[in-house]
Amino acid sequence: MSNTKIDAVELTRTLVRFETVNPINPEQGCVEYVGNLLAEHGFEISYHEFAPGRPSLVARIGGSDKKLPLCFTGHLDTVPLGHKEWSVSPFNADIIDGKLYGRGTSDMKSGVAAFVAAVIELADELAQGPGVVLVVTAGEETGCEGAAHMANLDGVLGKAGAIVVAEPTSNYPFVGHKGALWINAQTDGVTAHGSMPELGVNAIYKASKAVNKLETFDFKATPHPVMGPPTLNVGTIEGGINVNSVPNRAKIGVDIRTIPGQKNEAVLGDLTSYLGEEVSLSPMVNLEGVWTAPENPWIQSVFSLMEKVLEQPIEHKTATYFTDASVLTPVYDFAPTIILGPGEAAMAHQTDEYCYVDRIPQAVEVFKELAKQWNQQ
């Protein structure tokens, strides 16, 4: 085994050319490509499928009785292309004017490529110390399915002392994100002919009352000093089968973003009581928030490094999206967690998604330094 320098930009391009649109295109080929690359350089690899053709992988190198490994994590699935036509091919990974275009460039194949390249280059050194564990997931975009699957498999994820989530941040360190509680709220009625509504019970009327109540729901929560207050948004509503029938069912899609200190189950219980027995609630996504106090010594060391790299003071910021850290941080005994990656958060899920090419090697150097520092302590 010898250290090898991997071109992270070219690796990103290779990963983008794998179509891994969730749930249309299974991630298997892309995940196995990464796994084979790591195995060639001395990493121990295991695959864990949550559905046919949809594996996540765990890769390890090194190990110590004195200190837990550093975890790097990222996902290889992407969202669909959307209805708007792209001006570039979404899977060619073309580089134009310093931007690498394609679905998944920012969210978040560039991040995965960067930490894979970083640890391969340090493989010999990492093998002699606490080392690293890489958690590369499938199914993140639909509620962290791959991570949740592995969390439920005894011992698969092992242990880690700190976590780097390489989601898109323009290489700016974020110290957490809100939780996500997506709920299907359903009302039921009794169908009847539209000309005789008195013979039925209109589920849409019930849903309408529920929506009005949702608009004024009070979390009774003190805003977080960085993330602000929790939020609630009614995103979808559907009901009825035709205009001349009394609808016997209606559904409301509710997106709640919770803050540290709140528990999603408690919020769900409060909402159930608030809406009453006419509305049944079932979670579609249930992910807790992530927060590491900026005063944490390891977080401070990351800030110190990034102040030098970015040549600016680091403010306390959090991501607007959720990540696999919602699942992994509790599994790793709430190890300090930083979200830091080369992609552009504003380009995630966008038509003509891109990342800046020069941010990718910058991320490689950052990840190498974090791994080196961890391995030396």
* pTM of the entire predicted model: 0.94
Strand 132-137: give its sheet, edge to edge: 44-49, 55-61, 132-137, 70-75, 162-165, 337-339
* Residues linked to residue 181 through DSSP beta bridges, in sequence order: 256, 286
Extents of the domains making up the chain? 8-177+289-376, 179-287
What are the structure tokens assigned to 369, written together?
A: 């330094």
Q: In whole angstroms, what is the distance from residue 168 CA to residue 320 CA?
A: 11
Q: In whole angstroms, what is the distance from residue 299 CA to residue 332 CA?
A: 16
Structural contact between residues 97 and 347, judged by C-beta atoms closer than 8 angstroms: no
Does residue 154 come out as left (phi exceeding 0), alpha (psi in the -120 to 50 range) or beta?
beta
> Counting beta carbons within 10 angstroms of the beta carbon of residue 184, is it exposed (0 to 12), middle (13 to 18) or buried (19 or more)?
middle
Give the fold, CATH level 3, of 8-177+289-376.
Answer: Aminopeptidase (3.40.630)
Q: What is the pLDDT along the chain (377 residues), one digit of tens a residue?
A: 457 899 999 999 999 999 999 999 999 999 999 999 999 999 999 999 999 999 999 999 999 989 999 999 999 999 999 999 999 999 999 999 999 999 999 999 999 999 999 999 999 999 999 999 999 999 999 999 999 999 999 999 999 999 999 999 999 999 999 999 999 999 999 999 999 999 999 999 999 999 999 999 999 999 999 999 999 999 999 999 999 999 999 999 999 999 998 999 999 999 999 999 999 999 999 999 999 999 999 999 999 999 999 999 999 999 999 999 999 999 999 999 999 999 999 999 999 999 999 999 999 999 999 999 999 86
Amino acid at 92: N
Structural contact between residues 141 and 22, judged by C-beta atoms closer than 8 angstroms: yes
**Domain 179-287 falls under CATH 3.30.70.360:** yes
Closest among 101, 124, 75 to 17, alpha carbons compared: 101
